[in-house]
Structure 1
Amino acid sequence: MSAGPGQRRGTRPVDSAGAATGAPRLVLRLEGLAIAAAALLAYRHMDAGWGMFAALLLAPDLSLLAYLAGPRAGAVFYNAAHSYLLPALLAGTGLALGRERPVAVALIWIAHVGIDRALGYGLKYPGGFGLTHLGRIGKAQADGDQKPSPD
Protein backbone atom coordinates (compact mmCIF):
# COMPACT_ATOMS: atom_id res chain seq x y z
CA MET A 1 0.00 0.00 0.00
CA SER A 2 1.46 3.36 -0.95
CA ALA A 3 1.63 6.37 1.31
CA GLY A 4 -0.77 9.23 0.60
CA PRO A 5 0.15 12.88 0.12
CA GLY A 6 1.98 14.31 3.12
CA GLN A 7 2.37 10.87 4.68
CA ARG A 8 5.46 8.68 4.95
CA ARG A 9 5.12 4.95 4.52
CA GLY A 10 4.31 3.32 7.90
CA THR A 11 2.88 6.46 9.47
CA ARG A 12 -0.56 7.80 10.11
CA PRO A 13 -1.60 11.40 9.54
CA VAL A 14 -1.38 13.47 12.71
CA ASP A 15 -5.12 13.44 13.40
CA SER A 16 -6.08 9.96 12.20
CA ALA A 17 -4.93 7.95 15.22
CA GLY A 18 -8.39 7.98 16.80
CA ALA A 19 -8.43 11.71 17.46
CA ALA A 20 -11.48 13.89 16.90
CA THR A 21 -11.06 16.65 14.34
CA GLY A 22 -13.10 19.55 13.02
CA ALA A 23 -16.60 20.11 14.36
CA PRO A 24 -16.66 16.98 16.59
CA ARG A 25 -13.46 18.19 18.32
CA LEU A 26 -15.01 21.61 18.89
CA VAL A 27 -18.18 20.03 20.29
CA LEU A 28 -16.12 17.88 22.69
CA ARG A 29 -14.22 20.94 23.90
CA LEU A 30 -17.41 22.97 24.35
CA GLU A 31 -18.95 20.01 26.17
CA GLY A 32 -15.99 20.07 28.57
CA LEU A 33 -16.53 23.78 29.15
CA ALA A 34 -20.25 23.23 29.83
CA ILE A 35 -19.54 20.39 32.27
CA ALA A 36 -16.90 22.47 34.08
CA ALA A 37 -19.36 25.38 34.38
CA ALA A 38 -22.13 23.09 35.68
CA ALA A 39 -19.75 21.53 38.23
CA LEU A 40 -18.66 24.98 39.41
CA LEU A 41 -22.25 26.14 39.79
CA ALA A 42 -23.22 22.97 41.67
CA TYR A 43 -20.19 23.37 43.94
CA ARG A 44 -21.10 27.01 44.64
CA HIS A 45 -24.65 25.92 45.43
CA MET A 46 -23.31 23.36 47.93
CA ASP A 47 -21.35 26.10 49.71
CA ALA A 48 -18.54 23.63 50.44
CA GLY A 49 -15.79 26.23 50.70
CA TRP A 50 -13.44 27.58 48.06
CA GLY A 51 -10.33 26.68 50.07
CA MET A 52 -10.99 22.99 49.50
CA PHE A 53 -11.73 23.72 45.83
CA ALA A 54 -8.38 25.47 45.39
CA ALA A 55 -6.51 22.76 47.29
CA LEU A 56 -7.94 19.89 45.22
CA LEU A 57 -8.43 21.38 41.75
CA LEU A 58 -5.09 20.14 40.42
CA ALA A 59 -5.05 16.85 42.37
CA PRO A 60 -5.97 14.72 39.31
CA ASP A 61 -2.74 15.89 37.68
CA LEU A 62 -0.78 13.86 40.22
CA SER A 63 -1.60 10.96 37.90
CA LEU A 64 1.07 12.38 35.58
CA LEU A 65 3.65 10.84 37.88
CA ALA A 66 2.73 7.45 36.41
CA TYR A 67 4.52 8.53 33.22
CA LEU A 68 7.72 7.91 35.16
CA ALA A 69 6.92 4.20 34.71
CA GLY A 70 6.48 4.65 30.94
CA PRO A 71 3.88 5.89 28.47
CA ARG A 72 1.56 2.89 28.76
CA ALA A 73 1.30 3.09 32.57
CA GLY A 74 1.12 6.87 32.35
CA ALA A 75 -1.81 6.72 29.93
CA VAL A 76 -3.71 4.23 32.12
CA PHE A 77 -3.38 6.29 35.30
CA TYR A 78 -3.89 9.63 33.54
CA ASN A 79 -7.05 8.37 31.83
CA ALA A 80 -8.42 6.94 35.08
CA ALA A 81 -7.95 10.32 36.75
CA HIS A 82 -9.18 12.33 33.76
CA SER A 83 -12.40 10.61 32.79
CA TYR A 84 -15.78 11.31 34.34
CA LEU A 85 -16.28 7.71 35.48
CA LEU A 86 -14.57 7.78 38.89
CA PRO A 87 -15.88 11.19 40.00
CA ALA A 88 -19.39 10.16 38.90
CA LEU A 89 -19.09 7.02 41.05
CA LEU A 90 -17.80 9.10 43.96
CA ALA A 91 -20.68 11.59 43.60
CA GLY A 92 -23.23 8.79 43.34
CA THR A 93 -21.83 7.10 46.43
CA GLY A 94 -21.89 10.38 48.35
CA LEU A 95 -25.47 11.06 47.32
CA ALA A 96 -26.56 7.51 48.18
CA LEU A 97 -24.98 7.78 51.64
CA GLY A 98 -26.20 11.33 52.24
CA ARG A 99 -22.61 12.65 52.56
CA GLU A 100 -21.75 16.06 51.15
CA ARG A 101 -17.93 15.84 51.23
CA PRO A 102 -17.61 13.09 48.56
CA VAL A 103 -20.04 14.99 46.35
CA ALA A 104 -18.02 18.21 46.77
CA VAL A 105 -14.76 16.39 45.96
CA ALA A 106 -16.40 14.79 42.92
CA LEU A 107 -17.58 18.20 41.68
CA ILE A 108 -14.04 19.58 41.97
CA TRP A 109 -12.74 16.55 40.08
CA ILE A 110 -15.40 16.92 37.38
CA ALA A 111 -14.57 20.63 37.04
CA HIS A 112 -10.89 19.74 36.55
CA VAL A 113 -11.67 17.22 33.81
CA GLY A 114 -14.04 19.64 32.10
CA ILE A 115 -11.46 22.44 32.15
CA ASP A 116 -8.83 20.09 30.71
CA ARG A 117 -11.20 19.02 27.92
CA ALA A 118 -12.10 22.65 27.16
CA LEU A 119 -8.37 23.43 26.84
CA GLY A 120 -7.88 20.50 24.46
CA TYR A 121 -6.23 18.03 26.83
CA GLY A 122 -7.85 14.73 26.01
CA LEU A 123 -7.53 11.15 27.15
CA LYS A 124 -4.11 9.73 26.35
CA TYR A 125 -3.07 6.96 24.01
CA PRO A 126 -0.20 4.72 25.15
CA GLY A 127 1.96 5.88 22.23
CA GLY A 128 2.94 9.04 24.09
CA PHE A 129 1.69 11.88 26.26
CA GLY A 130 0.97 14.14 23.30
CA LEU A 131 -1.38 11.66 21.60
CA THR A 132 -4.93 12.31 22.81
CA HIS A 133 -8.49 11.69 21.71
CA LEU A 134 -8.74 15.43 21.03
CA GLY A 135 -5.64 15.47 18.79
CA ARG A 136 -1.94 15.98 19.38
CA ILE A 137 -0.78 18.39 22.06
CA GLY A 138 2.60 19.91 22.77
CA LYS A 139 5.65 20.10 20.51
CA ALA A 140 4.42 17.30 18.23
CA GLN A 141 1.32 19.35 17.40
CA ALA A 142 3.29 22.49 16.65
CA ASP A 143 5.81 20.67 14.46
CA GLY A 144 3.24 18.54 12.66
CA ASP A 145 5.50 15.64 13.64
CA GLN A 146 4.36 12.19 12.66
CA LYS A 147 5.45 9.07 14.51
CA PRO A 148 5.50 5.60 12.98
CA SER A 149 2.32 3.69 13.66
CA PRO A 150 2.56 0.90 16.28
CA ASP A 151 0.81 -1.59 13.95
Structure 2
Amino acid sequence: MKSLIKLEELAMFLFAGLLFWYTDFVWWLFPALLLVPDVSMVGYAMNNKMGAYLYNIVHHKGLALLIYSMGIFMKSPTIELVGIILFAHSSMDRLFGFGLKHINSFRHTHLGKIGGS
Protein backbone atom coordinates (compact mmCIF):
# COMPACT_ATOMS: atom_id res chain seq x y z
CA MET A 1 0.00 0.00 0.00
CA LYS A 2 2.85 2.39 0.80
CA SER A 3 4.20 1.96 -2.74
CA LEU A 4 0.82 2.82 -4.21
CA ILE A 5 0.57 5.96 -2.08
CA LYS A 6 4.11 6.98 -3.09
CA LEU A 7 3.26 6.50 -6.77
CA GLU A 8 0.17 8.65 -6.31
CA GLU A 9 2.19 11.40 -4.63
CA LEU A 10 4.84 11.19 -7.38
CA ALA A 11 2.10 11.61 -9.99
CA MET A 12 0.76 14.68 -8.17
CA PHE A 13 4.26 16.15 -7.87
CA LEU A 14 4.86 15.64 -11.59
CA PHE A 15 1.46 17.17 -12.34
CA ALA A 16 2.43 20.26 -10.33
CA GLY A 17 5.64 20.42 -12.36
CA LEU A 18 3.55 20.26 -15.54
CA LEU A 19 1.34 23.09 -14.31
CA PHE A 20 4.47 25.11 -13.59
CA TRP A 21 5.84 24.32 -17.06
CA TYR A 22 2.85 26.13 -18.59
CA THR A 23 3.48 29.31 -16.63
CA ASP A 24 5.69 32.12 -17.90
CA PHE A 25 8.09 31.89 -14.95
CA VAL A 26 11.74 30.87 -15.43
CA TRP A 27 12.38 27.14 -14.83
CA TRP A 28 14.77 27.60 -11.89
CA LEU A 29 12.05 29.27 -9.82
CA PHE A 30 10.34 25.90 -9.26
CA PRO A 31 13.27 24.24 -7.46
CA ALA A 32 14.21 27.53 -5.79
CA LEU A 33 10.78 27.87 -4.15
CA LEU A 34 10.08 24.21 -3.50
CA LEU A 35 11.27 24.22 0.13
CA VAL A 36 9.84 27.62 1.09
CA PRO A 37 6.65 26.11 2.64
CA ASP A 38 8.84 24.48 5.30
CA VAL A 39 9.21 27.93 6.87
CA SER A 40 5.88 26.99 8.49
CA MET A 41 7.87 24.81 10.92
CA VAL A 42 8.69 28.03 12.76
CA GLY A 43 5.52 27.39 14.78
CA TYR A 44 7.38 24.60 16.57
CA ALA A 45 9.52 27.30 18.20
CA MET A 46 6.43 28.14 20.27
CA ASN A 47 5.16 24.62 21.02
CA ASN A 48 4.12 21.35 19.35
CA LYS A 49 0.47 22.32 19.07
CA MET A 50 1.12 25.65 17.35
CA GLY A 51 3.76 24.02 15.16
CA ALA A 52 1.44 21.25 14.04
CA TYR A 53 -1.42 23.65 13.28
CA LEU A 54 0.72 26.02 11.24
CA TYR A 55 2.55 23.20 9.46
CA ASN A 56 -0.70 21.39 8.61
CA ILE A 57 -2.41 24.49 7.25
CA VAL A 58 0.50 25.28 4.93
CA HIS A 59 0.87 21.63 3.85
CA HIS A 60 -2.84 21.04 3.20
CA LYS A 61 -3.41 20.24 -0.48
CA GLY A 62 -6.92 21.68 -0.32
CA LEU A 63 -5.45 25.07 0.53
CA ALA A 64 -2.98 24.73 -2.34
CA LEU A 65 -5.80 23.98 -4.78
CA LEU A 66 -7.88 26.87 -3.42
CA ILE A 67 -4.99 29.31 -3.86
CA TYR A 68 -4.24 28.00 -7.36
CA SER A 69 -7.92 28.35 -8.30
CA MET A 70 -7.99 31.89 -6.92
CA GLY A 71 -5.00 32.69 -9.11
CA ILE A 72 -6.83 31.45 -12.18
CA PHE A 73 -10.03 33.30 -11.24
CA MET A 74 -8.15 36.53 -10.49
CA LYS A 75 -5.88 36.10 -13.52
CA SER A 76 -2.84 36.34 -11.23
CA PRO A 77 0.10 34.18 -12.29
CA THR A 78 1.83 34.89 -8.98
CA ILE A 79 -1.07 33.50 -6.94
CA GLU A 80 -1.22 30.50 -9.29
CA LEU A 81 2.49 29.96 -8.64
CA VAL A 82 1.95 29.98 -4.88
CA GLY A 83 -0.72 27.29 -5.27
CA ILE A 84 1.50 25.19 -7.52
CA ILE A 85 4.45 25.39 -5.13
CA LEU A 86 2.32 24.52 -2.09
CA PHE A 87 0.80 21.54 -3.93
CA ALA A 88 4.16 20.32 -5.28
CA HIS A 89 5.84 20.69 -1.90
CA SER A 90 3.10 18.80 -0.07
CA SER A 91 3.22 15.99 -2.62
CA MET A 92 7.02 15.84 -2.37
CA ASP A 93 6.86 15.71 1.43
CA ARG A 94 4.36 12.86 1.38
CA LEU A 95 6.39 11.04 -1.24
CA PHE A 96 9.27 11.04 1.26
CA GLY A 97 7.00 9.97 4.13
CA PHE A 98 6.47 13.35 5.81
CA GLY A 99 2.78 13.65 6.50
CA LEU A 100 0.52 16.07 8.31
CA LYS A 101 1.57 16.40 11.94
CA HIS A 102 -0.14 15.26 15.11
CA ILE A 103 0.01 17.82 17.93
CA ASN A 104 1.91 15.57 20.34
CA SER A 105 5.16 15.42 18.35
CA PHE A 106 6.73 16.60 15.08
CA ARG A 107 7.68 12.98 14.37
CA HIS A 108 4.07 11.67 14.54
CA THR A 109 2.27 12.12 11.21
CA HIS A 110 -0.81 10.82 9.47
CA LEU A 111 1.55 8.55 7.49
CA GLY A 112 3.19 7.08 10.60
CA LYS A 113 6.24 7.92 12.66
CA ILE A 114 9.17 9.73 11.03
CA GLY A 115 12.60 8.24 11.67
CA GLY A 116 13.67 5.30 13.78
CA SER A 117 11.80 3.85 16.72
TM-score normalised over the length of structure 1? 0.72
Aligned residue identity for 1:81: V
> 1:54-97 CA distances to partner (integer Å, 9 max, x unpaired)?
33211110011100111111110110111112211111111111
* Residue in structure 2 matched with residue 68 of structure 1 by the alignment: 45
* Residue in structure 2 matched with residue 94 of structure 1 by the alignment: 71
Instruction: Report deviation, 1:126.
Output: 0.6
Q: How many residues align?
A: 117
Match of 2:58 among 64, 71, 81: 81
Percent identity between matched residues is: 36
**Comparing 97-106 with 124-133, which one deviates more in the overlay?**
97-106
TM-score normalised over the length of structure 2? 0.91
CA distance in 2, matches of 1:55, 1:105: 13
More helix by share: 2
- Give the alignment's Cα RMSD to 1 decimal: 1.4
* Residue in structure 2 matched with residue 31 of structure 1 by the alignment: 8
Larger radius of gyration: 1
Instruction: Report deviation, 1:123.
Output: 0.4
- The answer for unaligned runs of 5 or more in structure 1 is 1-22, 144-151
2:27 is equivalent to residue 50 of structure 1: yes
CA distance in 1, matches of 2:34, 2:5: 21
2:98 partner SS: coil
Match of 2:80 among 86, 103, 106: 103
Instruction: Report deviation, 1:101.
Output: 1.6
Higher relative contact order (CA closer than 8 Å, sequence separation 6+): 1
